[in-house]
Structure formats: C-alpha cells, structure tokens
C-alpha cells in the first residue's frame, strides 16, 4: 500500500493513525501541499480530487477521503476494531468523527484559508479569528456530544476508534493556531489518552519523513 | 422514530431520502433554522450540537450527523441496501458521499454564509461568488471521481446509494444559487435518474410539511 499524504494535513494524519493502530506497513509518499504538488505531475494524474490522503492499494485501486479509507481498512483488517460492534455504538462513533470531519476541518483547511486571503482580501487577524471561531465552536459541540455518552478512556469506550483518529489531528491543528481549549475536559482527556498510545505517537507530523520543523 | 429537520437543510434532505428508500415511516418534527429554533426550547435541550438532522429513536436514543444516521438505518434495515456488499465498493460510495459532505456542503451552509456576512462584512456578491466557487469546484471533483468508476444508472451501480442521498440535496442547493453545472454529465445524469425515483421525489423540500414556497 502507498499512502499519498502530507505531514501537516489533518486528514492524512487520521489515516496514518489508523494504519499504525492496525499495525499495517505502507509506503509513505509525500505530497507537498504548500508547494502545490497536489496539482501537478504524478499525483494530479492519479488523483480525481487533488486531495490528500489517497491510499493506493497493491492492486492499483485508489481510495480517497480519510473516513472512507479508515472504514475500508477496518473492514479488510478487522483487528483491532476502530468501530464498536453494535449499530448504535457505530452511529455514535461515526457521528463524533463527522462532527470534526464535516463541521470543523472543512472550514480551516489550507485551500479555504487561502481563498479567504487571496480572493476575499481578508486580513491575517480576521483569518485567524475565523479559524479559531470554527475550531472552538465545533469542539465545544463535540464536548457536548461526548458528555451525552458513557465515559471511557478514549472518545468512545476504552479502545481507540475512528472518532479518536479524527480528534487528535484537529487538536494538533488547533494548537498551531492557539485555539482556546478551555471547557472541553472530556475532549482533552481523550486527546491526552491518545497521545500516550504508541500508534498516535508514531503517526504524528513530527515523525513523518517530510516533516518541516 | 422522529426526524428533527428543516425542509431546506441539505443534510436533513439526505436522511429523508434514506428513510423513503427504506420505506420507513417517521414523525416529521420541523426545526426552523432561519428563525433560530435550533438554538432554543425543546430541540436545543435535546441536541448536543444544535444541528439538524437529529434522529430520535423510539427508545429515546438520539443520533446526529446525516451520514452516520444513514449508515445506522442501513445496518438496522438492510434492504434495500444503500452501500454495496464489497469493501471496495463501500469505500467508493463513502468517498463520493464524503466528497460532498466534507468538501462542499460545510462551506455553503447557513451558519457559514451568515458568518461571512455578519462577522466578515462580506457583500452579497462576494458571498455568492464564494458559494458558487466551492459548489462548482467540488462538483467538478465529484465528476472526476465518478468518471474513474464504472458507469451505472446512479452514482454507483444501478440502485441508489448513500452517494445519491448526498448528491441530490447538493444539486438542489446549487440550483437555488444558480451554480453552473456544465461539464458534469455523469453527475447530472445520476441526479436526473434519482429525480425519477419516487423516494427522492417524496423527500424533496417542496413535499415537506414546513415547506415555504
């Protein structure tokens, strides 16, 4: 398997965590988003949407969208499971993951921030306010969602799930922009638990071959 | 089952389609987003994230996030299936759905458009340009993703899937903002096929009890 990804991309980080949790080896193919490598050459020719991550299977099939890739990995390599066994538990975990992947991250990714600056002529401060607004607002909603569920070590239960794969990169991202994480005790406790787990440690941006300090 | 939703909400529309495809009856509970009903009263007390749709099960459990809800319905009422049987097919369908739910819709929903106008003081024309940019750009990527897959009646194969549940509301939404849909033949053919299907017809905004012409 080849994972086309970028060390700082949150969505790439999600898939790297899942691969480490599953203990699956893969070839790391860096795609430098800031240099525009996703829009040119081999990657652009292979990718339909020009986005990372893209998982290229040994048979040549190419998969896009981090949550779809993680569910594929979970279905084809069931242990350790990244989703609960029961339908209700699965719905809660998917909902938590989507609270981040559909409500927060799309508003703060690189191409959206670029559009605000280049096309809308928004200044640096307004861009950062926008960023922090959606991340903090979204994580407070995530905290309320968590607080309606039984407490566990991680977001849902005592083993990492798809929800944790999505949460950790979002917190990393928020820290870069100095987001205020107060009032999110359950969320930050799950984050802290994840960061003690070797899979999350190994997958983090600073351990990527294309990391830039 | 009760579906808390709003006639014009794309994410609500996705779940209504799935319920109709499965032939499941439900109580329609309108939540008027423009009047701010999601932030007050009974709905706000029940909802963790203040977003529609929310599916309330007969046992009292509450589920959020449209794609999580649809997968729950598909797991608990397997026929007709809204995801293919094979892992690779499931990955492609989820990826198509997420191309809309994670790349397009989050940038054009009501609260984001409101933020642009109220907080960023963006004028009407710039707001509409933003809207059309992300919808057209995202649907062109969707078209490229479709073009790498075998052609069928719908987005994936000859029966409606989760991908169609997400596509149709996005096209409805785009039509309201006069998005240019040229160069997306496969996408629009799937949309047209869906709109001939009674489930998609029944679920559309104009058939909702809270519809405003």
pLDDT reported for residue B177: 92
Whether B130 sits inside 8 A of A148 (CB atoms) is no
Taking an 8 Å cut-off on Cβ atoms, the answer to whether A102 and B102 are in contact is yes
Q: Do A65 and B122 make contact, defined as CB atoms within 8 angstroms?
A: no
Task: Give the nearest chain A residue to B101 (CA atoms).
Answer: A102
Residue B84, pLDDT above cutoff 90: yes
Optimal mutation site among A98, A148, A155, A162, interface B, most CBs of chain B within 10 A: A98
Q: Which residues of A113-125 are buried (b: 16+ CB within 10 A; e: fewer)?
A: bebbeeebebeee
In angstroms, the separation between the Cα of residue B200 and the nearest Cα of chain A is 23
| Residue B39 pLDDT greater than 90, yes or no | no
**Residue B156 clears pLDDT 90, i.e. is over it:** yes
Only one residue has tokens 């608990």, namely: B76
List of chain A residues with pLDDT < 70: none
Contacts 24+ apart (CB under 8 A), B75-84: B75/A87, B75/A90, B76/A87, B77/B22, B77/B24, B79/B22, B80/B21, B80/B22, B80/B159, B80/B160, B81/B159, B82/B18, B82/B21, B82/B22, B82/B160, B82/B161, B82/B162, B82/B165, B83/B161, B83/B162, B84/B156, B84/B157, B84/B161
Q: What is the pLDDT of residues B89-132, one digit of tens each?
A: 999 999 999 999 999 999 998 899 999 999 999 999 999 999 99
**Looking at the partner chain, which of B72, B87, B103 has a beta carbon nearest the beta carbon of A87?**
B72
Pairs of residues, one from chain A and one from chain B, whose beta carbons lie less than 8 Å apart? 128
Comparing B44 with B153, the larger pLDDT belongs to B153
Geometric angle at alpha carbon A173, from A170 and A179, rounded to 5°: 95
Measure CA A148 to chain center: 23
Q: What is the pLDDT of residue B170?
A: 98
**pLDDT tier at B175 (50, 70, 90 boundaries)?**
very high
Question: What domains are there in chain A, each with its CATH number?
Answer: 2-80+201-207 (3.40.30.10), 87-198 (1.20.1050.10)
Contact between chains at B87 and A76 (C-beta distance less than 8 A)? yes
CA distances from A200 to A104, A192, B71, B140 (A): 21, 10, 27, 34
Alpha-carbon torsion B144, B149, B151, B156, what sign?
negative
Predicted local confidence at residue B50, as pLDDT: 87
Mutate to test the interface with B, among A61, A68, A77, A113 (most CBs of B within 10 A): A68
Contact B91 A71 (CB under 8 A): yes
- The pLDDT-based confidence of B36 (bands split at 50, 70, 90) is confident
> Nearest Cα to B53, choosing from B115, B95, B2, B109?
B2
In sequence order, the 6+-apart residues with CB closer than 8 A to the CB of B91 are: A63, A68, A69, A71, A72
Nearest Cα residue in chain B from A64: B95
Encode A140-161: b = buried (16+ Cβ within 10 Å), e = exposed. bbbbbbbeebeebbbbbbeebb
B106 contacts in chain A (CB < 8 Å): 102-103, 106-107
Task: Tell whether the model's pLDDT for residue B10 goes beyond 90.
Answer: yes
Look-up of token digits 């809204």: B82
* B119:A133 CB<8 A: yes
What is the rounded CA–CA span in Å between residue A92 and residue B90?
Answer: 19
- Suggest the residue from B43, B45, B49 to mutate for an interface test with chain A (most A CBs closer than 10 A): B49
CB atoms B68 and A129 under 8 Å: no
Using CA coordinates, name the residue in chain A closest to B145. Answer: A48
Nearest to B33 by CA among B50, B57, B14: B50
Q: In the beta sheet, which residues pair with residue A30?
A: A5
pLDDT value at residue A48:
86
d(CA A112, nearest CA chain B) in Å: 9
Facing residue for A65 by CB, picked from B65, B68, B102: B102
DSSP class per residue in B22-69 = HT---EEEE--TTTTGGGSHHHHHH-SS--S-EEE-TTS-EEESHHHH
pLDDT band, very low/low/confident/very high, at B34 (cuts 50, 70, 90): confident
Instruction: Determine the residue of chain A that is closest to B116 in CA distance.
Output: A130
């Amino acid at each position: 398997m080849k994972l086309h990804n970028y060390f700082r991309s949150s969505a790439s980080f999600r898939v790297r965590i899942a691969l480490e949790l599953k203990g699956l080896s893969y070839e790391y193919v860096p795609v430098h988003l800031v240099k525009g490598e996703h829009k040119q050459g081999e990657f652009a020719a292979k990718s339909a949407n020009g986005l990372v991550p893209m998982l290229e299977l040994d048979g040549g099939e190419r998969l896009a969208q981090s949550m779809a890739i993680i569910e594929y990995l979970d279905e084809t390599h069931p242990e350790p499971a990244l989703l609960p066994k029961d339908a209700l538990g699965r719905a809660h975990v998917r909902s938590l993951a989507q609270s981040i992947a559909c409500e927060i991250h799309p508003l703060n990714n690189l191409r959206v921030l670029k559009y605000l600056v280049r096309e809308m002529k928004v200044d640096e401060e307004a861009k950062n306010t926008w960023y922090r607004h959606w991340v903090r607002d979204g994580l407070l909603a995530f905290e309320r969602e968590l607080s309606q569920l039984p407490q566990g070590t991680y977001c849902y239960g005592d083993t990492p799930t798809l929800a944790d794969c999505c949460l950790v990169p979002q917190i990393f991202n928020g820290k870069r922009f100095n987001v205020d994480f107060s009032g999110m005790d359950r969320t930050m406790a799950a984050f802290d638990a994840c960061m003690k787990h070797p899979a999350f440690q190994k997958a983090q941006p600073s351990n990527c071959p294309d990391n830039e300090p």
